[in-house]
Amino acid sequence: MDIDYLIRVLDRENMPVIIKGYHTYLSYYGFEENSVYVMRQGIAKTSIIHPDGREFNLAYISGANIISLLKDEVSKYTSSPLNVRIESKEAAFFRVPRTRFWELVRDDPDLHAYVRDYYRQNLSYFMETLQAMTMNGKTGAVCFLLQRLAREFGQAAGKRGEIEIQFSITNEDIAGFCGISQRSSVNRILHGLKADGLIEIEGGRIIVLDLPGLKERVAMGAR
C-alpha cells in the first residue's frame, strides 16, 4: 500500500486541510502538539535542535507524505520531535487529531501495515544519512546531500545530463544538514565543486553537472 491510500482515508474522514506559506513553520521542536500532519502537496524541511541551540537538518519531504507520527500513540498531547518549515511557495497538510489517527490505524490492517513500513523506511533513510554525514568529511557530506537532492528533487536541465534541484537551498541549510558549523566552509566547498565542473548555481538553485563525479567525491571522503 502507498501514501495514496492514506490520503483517500483522510479525505473520506473529511479531515481539515491547512495551507502554510514559504518559510513558515508547521511545528516547533519540543512544543506540545495534538495533531498528526500528513502533507498533501508541497515541500517541507524537518530538523531538530541541539542542546546548544544549533539546528540540525534531517530531511526534505515532498508531495504526499506523513510529516511525523510522533512518539506517543495514547496521549492527546505530546511534544513535537521536529521543526517543520515550508520550503515551497506553499504546502497543504491534513491536520488529524492524534487519537483519531491511531484509531484509524488500529481499525484498518492496511493502514497498520503502512505505518509499520513508514517507520522501517525512515529508520533506514536516517541511518544511511547519519553514516554519510559522519564518515565522509565535510566535502563528502555536502556531495552526498547534493546527490540525494538531485535524485529526489532533480529535473533534467540540459542535453548533457544536467540535473536542477527544484528549489533553492541556502548555505546555512546545507551546513545544518552536514553538521558544518560555519556557512563560510559550505561556500568554499561549493566554489570548489563549481571549479571542478561538478555543479553550477543559477538563480539560487543548484544544478548538478556531473552526478557520478559527486558520488566519487563521497567515496573518496570515506577513504
Give the separation between CA 223 and CA 217, rounded to whole angstroms: 10
Give Dmax over CA atoms of the chain in angstroms.
56
Higher pLDDT, 49 or 175: 175
Note whether 90 and 17 are within 8 A (CB): no
Percentage of the chain with pLDDT > 70?
94
Per-residue model confidence as pLDDT tens digits over 6-58: 999 999 999 999 999 999 999 998 888 888 999 999 999 999 887 777 888 98
Angle of helix 171-178 relative to helix 183-195, nearest 10 degrees? 100
The residue-averaged pLDDT of 99-119 equals 90
The residue-averaged pLDDT of 81-100 equals 93
What integer pLDDT is reported at residue 153 of this predicted model? 93
What integer pLDDT is reported at residue 72 of this predicted model? 52
Higher pLDDT, 201 or 160: 201
Give the separation between CA 118 and CA 122, rounded to whole angstroms: 6
What integer pLDDT is reported at residue 76 of this predicted model? 60
The residue-averaged pLDDT of 49-73 equals 79
How high is the mean pLDDT of the chain? Answer: 87
- pLDDT level of residue 123 (50, 70, 90 thresholds): confident
Four-point Cα dihedral 35, 41, 47, 53, nearest 10? -80
pLDDT exceeds cutoff 50 at 223: no
What integer pLDDT is reported at residue 75 of this predicted model? 53
What integer pLDDT is reported at residue 50 of this predicted model? 79
Whose CA is closest to 171, among 157, 184, 155, 159? 184
